[in-house]
Amino acid sequence: MTNGSITSKQTILVHICCSVDSHYFLQCLRAQYPDSKLVGFFYNPNIHPKAEYDLRLLDVERSCKMLGIDLYEGEYDTLHWLEDVRGLEEEPEKGERCVACFDSRLIRTASFAKQKSIGVFTTTLLSSPMKEREILFTQGEKIAHLNNLEFIKIDVRSNGGTQAQAKLAKEDNLYRQTYCGCKFALIKQRNAQGKLSLELVENLGRQIQPASNEERIETFSRRNALEMDSIPYILTKRSIMAWRNLRSTAKLAGVSQDMYVLADSKSKHHTKTGQIQWIRTAVKSPIALQGFLYPRSARFTAQSEGLASWNLGDCVYEISLGVASKDDSVFMCLEDLNTLCHTRYENVRALNATPIPYELESALRICLCGLGSINPIIVLDSHIESSLTIFIHSIFQEESVFRLIEGIPMEDTKENI
């Protein structure tokens, strides 16, 4: 289905929602209007959180560059969008909230088209199997009529179009998101799956954790860099158990104590540790281990506070390790963490604000408690021998995350022949 009244040489403004929908849609549109100039407009204040928005924009920019299409970015005016869908927060997917969301974005697209003196527009939302096409046709025509514009109605889903779109998205290594974009739909979707919406859990520190928005941005930025350097790669997925610390506290005789909880520490519900027994023991620096486990990670010099040299080899240090007499919690002092990781944190508050890289933290856990442990490992400012009351609300949740398998650059391959 197309609009016969639209001439082939006109400029067409295309509202773009995401690369998965736009990459196929734009090629279909170009095939039907080969003499028209296509201009992209990324306007999606419905996408939450901002990091997810940034990632989708990053992927759309890559797609448009591959296709040779100019792209404009609209304002990320989330407050305006929230006002447009006020009262419809509990509507189901494909319900009235979605209609209001379509209107909000298409009205802004029509306004931008008039600003750029473009008389025709359409939207890649028509590609999405999660959207009601007939509603989009109706709303698009209505908004076009009110603005003296024309709206292109195009069917790219029929006759195997949806399957062709999915195939192209995999072939061209696009970011394939798992939810529409808005937080209301996301929460309902994750609740139905019995999961927490990790996408909306903001990391208060600057540590990049697995299955986080920041990790996805890092992965796809790396993809772009590999392509720029002509380094082969495979974009795949792997299943992991993602961990998040939602809240944690420690009290000594009712007085709050600063503490840092290492990744993969299990929950504790106001548990009394009993007397904490400390012992001097020899512990291998986790730096050598993280270099073995994560040889390609480039985070180590940027994320920690005052990292010194990473060339520590097989260094082993004597530190004090604390063990709860009535519990399986393990304790260490900040001074010893600084020794093992070659950091220079002044206090635990600074550690919480700017944690060590996740990879190094995972290696530290192995050095302290062994592979596969989930003991709570708690960092304190100083030795405490009296019983603490510990509360840790953490979750372990299965997630599927993107992974890059990097190939060997052609130059290196030739040298080894």
Last residue of a domain, one of 139, 172, 200: 200
Looking up tokens 């039907």, which residue turns up?
Answer: 32
What residue ranges in 9-167 does DSSP mark as E strands? 11-16, 37-42, 70-73, 120-123, 150-151
Domain-embedded: residue 125: yes
Cβ atoms of 233 and 341 within 8 Å: the answer is no
Domain-embedded: residue 1: no
Strand order in the sheet with 377-380: 259-261, 377-380, 330-333, 316-324, 276-284
* Residues 161 and 103 occupy one common structural domain: yes
* Residues 67 and 149 occupy one common structural domain: yes
Q: How many domains does the chain have?
A: 2
Is residue 351 predicted with pLDDT exceeding 50? yes
3-state SS class at 58: helix
Residues in the chain: 417
Mean pLDDT, to the nearest integer, of 52-80?
Answer: 97
* Residues 290 and 154 occupy one common structural domain: no
Domain-embedded: residue 238: no
* Residues 195 and 253 occupy one common structural domain: no
DSSP-assigned letter for residue 310: S
Last residue of a domain, one of 169, 200, 231: 200
Structure-block tokens of residue 375: 């003991």
* Residues 270 and 392 occupy one common structural domain: yes
* Residues 283 and 145 occupy one common structural domain: no
Mean pLDDT (the chain, rounded): 91
Pairing status of strand 330-333 against strand 316-324: antiparallel
Give the model's pLDDT for residue 187.
Answer: 95
Tens-place pLDDT, residues 108-126: 999 999 999 999 999 999 9
Distance CA 397, CA 13 (A): 41
Domain ranges, residue 86: 11-200
Domain-embedded: residue 218: no
Which helix (H) or strand (E) segment holds residue 312: the answer is: none
Mean pLDDT, to the nearest integer, of 388-392?
Answer: 97
Distance CA 188, CA 182 (A): 10
* Residues 44 and 186 occupy one common structural domain: yes
Mention every residue, 6+ apart, whose C-beta is less than 8 A from residue 182: 46, 47, 48, 85, 97, 101
Give the model's pLDDT for residue 202.
Answer: 75
Domain-embedded: residue 316: yes
Q: What is the CATH number of the domain that holds 172?
A: 3.40.50.620
Mean pLDDT, to the nearest integer, of 152-162?
Answer: 92
Split at pLDDT 50, 70, 90, the class of 2 is: very low
* Residues 279 and 182 occupy one common structural domain: no
Cβ atoms of 77 and 45 within 8 Å: the answer is yes
Last residue of a domain, one of 171, 200, 229: 200
Domain-embedded: residue 235: no
Distance CA 214, CA 67 (A): 27
Distance of CA 291 to the CA centre of its chain: 24
Structure-block tokens of residue 281: 């023991």
Helix, strand and coil content of the chain, in percent to the nearest 5, comes to: 40, 25, 40
Distance CA 376, CA 369 (A): 10
Domain-embedded: residue 190: yes
Give the model's pLDDT for residue 129.
Answer: 76
Domain-embedded: residue 415: no
* Residue burial 369-398, b: 16+ Cβ < 10 Å; e: rest: beeebbbbbbbbbeebeebbbbebebbebe
Give the model's pLDDT for residue 204.
Answer: 66
Split at pLDDT 50, 70, 90, the class of 294 is: confident
Give the model's pLDDT for residue 307.
Answer: 46
Tens-place pLDDT, residues 181-236: 999 999 999 999 999 999 998 766 778 999 999 999 999 999 999 999 999 999 99
* Residues 289 and 378 occupy one common structural domain: yes
* Residues 293 and 384 occupy one common structural domain: yes
Is residue 374 predicted with pLDDT exceeding 60? yes
Give the model's pLDDT for residue 133.
Answer: 85
